[in-house]
Structure 1
Amino acid sequence: MALTLPIALLTLVPLLVVLASFLSPQPAVWTHLAHYVLPDVLRNTALLIGGVGCGVLLLGVSLAWLTAMCEFPGRRFFAWALMLPLAMPAYVLAFVMVGLLDFTGPVQTWLRAAFGGSGWFPPIRSSGGVVLVLSLAFYPYVYLLARNAFATQGRRALEAAQMLGVSRRKAFWRVAIPMARPWIVGGLTLALMETLADFGAVSVFNFDTFTTAIYKAWFALFNLPAASQLASLLVLFVLALAVIEQRVRGERLYHARAGGGERIALRGSARWGAVAWCTLVLLVAFVIPMIQLGHWVAQVWADDFDARYPAFIGRSVLLAALAALLVMALALALAYARRRYRDAGTRWLVRLATLGYAVPGTVLAVGVFIPIAWLDNLLLAALQPLGFDGFQVLKGTVAVMLLALAARFLAVGFQPVDSAMQRITRNQEEAARSLGLRSRQVVARLHLPLLRGGLLTALLMVFVDVMKEMPITLMTRAFGWDTLAVRVFEMTSEGMWDRAALPALFIVLAGLLPVMLLTRHGAPE
């Protein structure tokens, strides 16, 4: 309890601070929100949840089924290549798509030159464009989990259904999908939580959601109470989504087993249709955006890469490295406490400590800033008699950024560390103690060597997530303390897609590291 409670407070304090805004409602703030903000925000949020939910299910489940259960040319390649879009942040994919498909972009310009006239082209700056981009960015969450479910549930179950007279298509809907439901729902929930948390992509489209409304209330209207109360509504959305996921899963038991039987050999048009579908998604979600980024970078490299970029890269790497080390240490402490103390209190504190990944970065930024500002005022009042004439002590420091980032990504670091900890048996610990090792020596000489793989995975995953993270860095950094993600935001805010490509390319290349790790330890063939 003494070890886990302080770590859990990293997440609980920001959440409680945000939710506490309900205890002191401000009628003027709520009147303004109700008339000018909430109608558009609620409508857009509902549209995103519905549209992206359908999009990621269509893409993720269909691709997972094809690569896990069917045989067609290129299946092995597509099985891992379709996870590559995970390396591309949604805000990067957003500005690339706008740059490519806007009226002045290369696609429409070529169409006008080739066929004459202005013609009609689906507007990318629309609600449909936002849904398309976020579906392409987040479908790998559903794909990865659904593919694992299909590959491990056993192909013989489908063969048994077909022997009972059920057609292959009906067996897919009545056997395969119900058996894979927990994994599909889990991936869908992750995708929808990322959708609710997205700030960069919706900013590119000027599509108002809770995250952009929170940012504007804080930095455009300088109204922290309005930002806090909008954040509290977003927290309720996220918690409701988590409850719905648990209800949808229900209490049924699902059993996974090793895959068996032959894959479905696709023939004729179905065979090449599968190749075309996988190729189309991979091209649109990753290959074409990477080519466009490379083209823009080649155009601006000579003029844009100057003395500022080593600073952008240095700050990004420094922040990501410090956050990764902090999260790794906290995750190790949580995993060790969970192993050593098996009481209900410890289990709940561990669960609460890892709740931050489900909370949008804008919410955590508001929740961290409010108590830090209060503490800052106390420190200023105490230091002024000593001759201190500054206007802030803690606000805008790297320490505050690290607190918010640790709360946000602790779950990312905890999962691989805890999984590695579970592989260490009690017999190994007892054998070490029988050799005369004390508790600290057991940790140093048994746990840490065996946890090395899990710790390295946690370090890598958190490092890359922080490199890509935008809202927390943008909202809590000191003035002028810009990172690669902040540089992307500034350039895209001005519509300078080509100048945003250079920092974006650095971020995408860094994001390839965890994707390679996932492909190495992915679903069975």
Structure 2
Amino acid sequence: MKRINMISIVSVILTLVLSVPILNLFKNIFNKSKFEVLPSLVFEAIFNTLYMMFFVGIFTVILASSLAWIMNVYDFKFKRLFQVLLVMPFGIPAYIMGQSYADLLSFSGFFPTFIRNNYNIKFTIDVMTINGAIFIYTMALFPYIYLFCSSYYSRYAGTFVENSRLLGVTGFKLFRKVGFKIARVPIIAGLSLVMMEVISDYGVVSYFGIQAFTTILYKIWIGFNDFSSAIKLAAFIMTLIFILLVIEKQVSKRLRFYTSTKTNGMKSIKAKGKIAIFIYIYLSLVVILALILPLFELLYNNYYSFSDVINMEYIKIIGGTILYCSIGAFITVLVAFIFVNYTTNSKSIFSFFTERVSTLGYSIPGIIIAIAVMFSFHELDRFLRPLYVYFKFKNKLFLSQTAIILIFAYVVRFLTVAYNQIFSAKNKFNPNIFECSRLLGQSQFRTLLKIDLPLLMEANITAFFLIFLEILKELPITLLLKPIGLETLTIEVHKFYSNEMIKEASVPSLMIIIIGISLNFIILYHKNKIQEVK
């Protein structure tokens, strides 16, 4: 008698459940209900979003690829220190960086006040504009492309660079002619993540008062109380995102190339003279703008407000934040671990569908996932209402107003991150290891526990911390789907800034950054351990 494959059954059920919110969105594209939002608002949001995507894309590509090139081609003092410092902005949410700069450069900010009091010069910079948002996104998001390019250069660029040097191509010409062109695939991969982050962000554009996709969706849903129009607009944005993803896939395929020789890495050049001076100035400027200035502003405000904000209630908020991030990260990694096992051992059409569902969520803006999940849970609550009446539940929206909906949305949003991390780690092992277990009569479930789990433990831990960090920084989903009474550090930041309590907001902001930067070091440590397994 053939054994029932529990892994396949569980994977199929989870895939169907996780795909419902997205399918519900697309179903509403064909909804004949009237779209009652002013076209001018929508067109302004589309223009602003595309404008920011275009310039953020250009600036992050130039900044990140040049930094990765410098860090891999040249050797100089304090190189290891800069390697760490250039990754640390990854732990700072864009909305916290934007709010820090807005306060730092405002009329009452530290620098304008210092210059006015000491030199009698009126000095302010209005960063709360669309161009200011582009600067914030560039500083906050360049690590995505930097990490992709740096990893590629360290592994595969050695042969190309050495051959180019022998042909007399050096300096900036080497980067322009060789370095930039051979890194087009990792640049496109990182750029697609940057574009998704710009589309998804709500904190920066909301605080800066910029009409963008996320702010107009929030305004339609919460401000106008027009859930139907919000669903239709979300479905339209999803269609645009899928078109972008298809274009990204096609471009990546066209740009991909292979090297027939094995490279042992790139031999670094000792930086001297003008080149060394330029490198130190360039790297220091980036570190100051992306890391030191935001941290300085938060520390400066914390000095005045820390004792006023911190109390026993705040300890509970920190504990609640850690608890919800941990639960969301654990469930997401567990689902991803099951999906990886299923998709690598099954060649069915449904396993392909499972893989697509697993790698879809991160490309969808958080506010759209919040709308899709809320819509689906409302329908489920409506379906289960007779059951609620039978068991005498007072709350007729039981699922929609508990932590279940929040955790579910986190899983949908961040499953891609965990899946890619675990899938990449599993591909480094010889598949015969897993086949031998099944040839010895072990079931797929027992193989999962005895073989997959121990071998992929480092990847699971890394994925857990990655998801924890993403949930910690996530604003739209937490803001829109949190159950009544739940307060997290992210919600506290938004609450304080919404009430113009700038100094008080610096306390939870700094806590988020400290946790984020600490997790960055843990993630890098575990990734290095994973790379040792080949």
Which stretch has the larger CA shift, 4-13 or 216-225?
Answer: 4-13
In the alignment, is the contact (CA less than 8 A) between 1:74 and 1:275 conserved in 2?
A: no
- The structure-2 alpha-carbon separation of the partners of 1:344 and 1:296, relative to structure 1 and needing over 3 Å to count, comes to same
Q: Distance in 1 between matches of 2:517 and 2:27?
A: 39
Q: Give the CA deviation at 1:33.
A: 3.2
Which runs of 5 or more structure 1 residues have no equivalent in the other structure? none
What SS is found at the alignment partner of 1:490?
Answer: helix
**2:307 maps to 1:285:** no
> What pairs up with 1:42-191 in 2 under 5 angstroms?
42-119=46-123, 121-166=124-169, 168-191=171-194
What SS is found at the alignment partner of 2:116?
Answer: helix
Q: Distance in 1 between matches of 2:253 and 2:424?
A: 24
Partner of 1:444: 449
Q: Distance in 2 between matches of 1:501 and 1:369?
A: 31
Post-superposition Cα deviations, 1:317-373, rounded to whole Å, max 9, x if no partner, equal 221111112112101110110222123431332122221011111001000111211
Partner of 2:312: 307
Q: Distance in 1 between matches of 2:512 and 2:266?
A: 41
- The structure-2 alpha-carbon separation of the partners of 1:517 and 1:8, relative to structure 1 and needing over 3 Å to count, comes to same
Question: Which residue identity lines up with residue 235 of structure 1 in the other structure?
Answer: M
> What pairs up with 1:8-407 in 2 under 5 angstroms?
8-29=15-36, 32-35=37-40, 37-119=41-123, 121-166=124-169, 168-255=171-258, 257-260=262-265, 262-384=267-389, 387-407=392-412
Post-superposition Cα deviations, 1:211-232, rounded to whole Å, max 9, x if no partner, equal 1111121111111112112212
Q: Give the CA deviation at 1:130.
A: 0.5
Q: Distance in 2 between matches of 1:410 and 1:292?
A: 34
What SS is found at the alignment partner of 2:384?
Answer: helix
Post-superposition Cα deviations, 1:82-140, rounded to whole Å, max 9, x if no partner, equal 00000111111111111101122111112222332425x43211111101111100000
Question: Which residue identity lines up with residue 232 of structure 1 in the other structure?
Answer: A
Q: Distance in 2 between matches of 1:328 and 1:499?
A: 34
Question: Which residue identity lines up with residue 5 of structure 1 in the other structure?
Answer: V
Q: Distance in 2 between matches of 1:449 and 1:392?
A: 41
Q: Give the CA deviation at 1:288.
A: 2.3
Question: Which residue identity lines up with residue 456 of structure 1 in the other structure?
Answer: I
Q: Distance in 1 between matches of 2:35 and 2:93?
A: 37
Partner of 1:427: 432
Q: Distance in 2 between matches of 1:427 and 1:353?
A: 25
Question: Which residue identity lines up with residue 89 of structure 1 in the other structure?
Answer: P
Q: Give the CA deviation at 1:428.
A: 2.8
- The structure-2 alpha-carbon separation of the partners of 1:498 and 1:10, relative to structure 1 and needing over 3 Å to count, comes to farther
In the alignment, is the contact (CA less than 8 A) between 1:464 and 1:514 conserved in 2?
A: yes
What SS is found at the alignment partner of 2:224?
Answer: coil
Partner of 1:454: 459
In the alignment, is the contact (CA less than 8 A) between 1:11 and 1:356 conserved in 2?
A: no
Q: Give the CA deviation at 1:269.
A: 2.1
Q: Distance in 1 between matches of 2:159 and 2:358?
A: 41
Q: Give the CA deviation at 1:181.
A: 0.7
Q: Give the CA deviation at 1:470.
A: 1.1
In the alignment, is the contact (CA less than 8 A) between 1:10 and 1:353 conserved in 2?
A: no
In the alignment, is the contact (CA less than 8 A) between 1:328 and 1:455 conserved in 2?
A: yes
- The structure-2 alpha-carbon separation of the partners of 1:434 and 1:220, relative to structure 1 and needing over 3 Å to count, comes to closer
Post-superposition Cα deviations, 1:355-402, rounded to whole Å, max 9, x if no partner, equal 101111100100011121122223334533665443422112111111
Question: Across the two proteins, how many residue pairs are aligned to each other?
Answer: 520
What SS is found at the alignment partner of 1:510?
Answer: helix
Question: Which residue identity lines up with residue 328 of structure 1 in the other structure?
Answer: V
In the alignment, is the contact (CA less than 8 A) between 1:380 and 1:393 conserved in 2?
A: no
Partner of 1:507: 512
Q: Distance in 2 between matches of 1:442 and 1:68?
A: 41
- The structure-2 alpha-carbon separation of the partners of 1:158 and 1:418, relative to structure 1 and needing over 3 Å to count, comes to closer
What SS is found at the alignment partner of 2:210?
Answer: coil
Post-superposition Cα deviations, 1:419-478, rounded to whole Å, max 9, x if no partner, equal 333344343335445666444433322222222111111222112211221111111112
Which stretch has the larger CA shift, 93-102 or 312-321?
Answer: 312-321
Question: Which residue identity lines up with residue 476 of structure 2 in the other structure?
Answer: P
Q: Distance in 2 between matches of 1:196 and 1:275?
A: 33
Post-superposition Cα deviations, 1:155-174, rounded to whole Å, max 9, x if no partner, equal 34234234335454333222
- The structure-2 alpha-carbon separation of the partners of 1:260 and 1:24, relative to structure 1 and needing over 3 Å to count, comes to closer
Q: Give the CA deviation at 1:236.
A: 2.2
- The structure-2 alpha-carbon separation of the partners of 1:328 and 1:159, relative to structure 1 and needing over 3 Å to count, comes to closer
Question: Which residue identity lines up with residue 182 of structure 2 in the other structure?
Answer: M
What SS is found at the alignment partner of 2:225?
Answer: coil
What SS is found at the alignment partner of 1:395?
Answer: helix
Q: Distance in 2 between matches of 1:388 and 1:182?
A: 54
In the alignment, is the contact (CA less than 8 A) between 1:335 and 1:418 conserved in 2?
A: yes
Q: Give the CA deviation at 1:191.
A: 0.9
Question: Which residue identity lines up with residue 315 of structure 2 in the other structure?
Answer: P
What SS is found at the alignment partner of 2:485?
Answer: coil
TM-score normalised to structure 1 length:
0.93
Which stretch has the larger CA shift, 137-146 or 309-318?
Answer: 309-318
In the alignment, is the contact (CA less than 8 A) between 1:199 and 1:211 conserved in 2?
A: yes
What SS is found at the alignment partner of 2:400?
Answer: coil
Q: Distance in 2 between matches of 1:271 and 1:117?
A: 35
Q: Give the CA deviation at 1:284.
A: 1.5
**2:419 maps to 1:414:** yes
Q: Distance in 2 between matches of 1:389 and 1:262?
A: 69
Question: Which residue identity lines up with residue 125 of structure 1 in the other structure?
Answer: M
Q: Give the CA deviation at 1:188.
A: 0.9
- The structure-2 alpha-carbon separation of the partners of 1:276 and 1:519, relative to structure 1 and needing over 3 Å to count, comes to farther
- The structure-2 alpha-carbon separation of the partners of 1:258 and 1:158, relative to structure 1 and needing over 3 Å to count, comes to closer
Q: CA RMSD in A?
A: 2.3
TM-score normalised to structure 2 length:
0.91
What SS is found at the alignment partner of 1:342?
Answer: coil
**Percentage identity across paired residues of the two chains:** 26
In the alignment, is the contact (CA less than 8 A) between 1:198 and 1:211 conserved in 2?
A: yes
In the alignment, is the contact (CA less than 8 A) between 1:420 and 1:450 conserved in 2?
A: no
Partner of 2:5: none
Post-superposition Cα deviations, 1:299-326, rounded to whole Å, max 9, x if no partner, equal 2121111232123222212211111121
Which runs of 5 or more structure 2 residues have no equivalent in the other structure? 1-7
Q: Give the CA deviation at 1:278.
A: 0.7
Partner of 1:479: 484
Q: Distance in 2 between matches of 1:438 and 1:243?
A: 38
In the alignment, is the contact (CA less than 8 A) between 1:112 and 1:118 conserved in 2?
A: yes
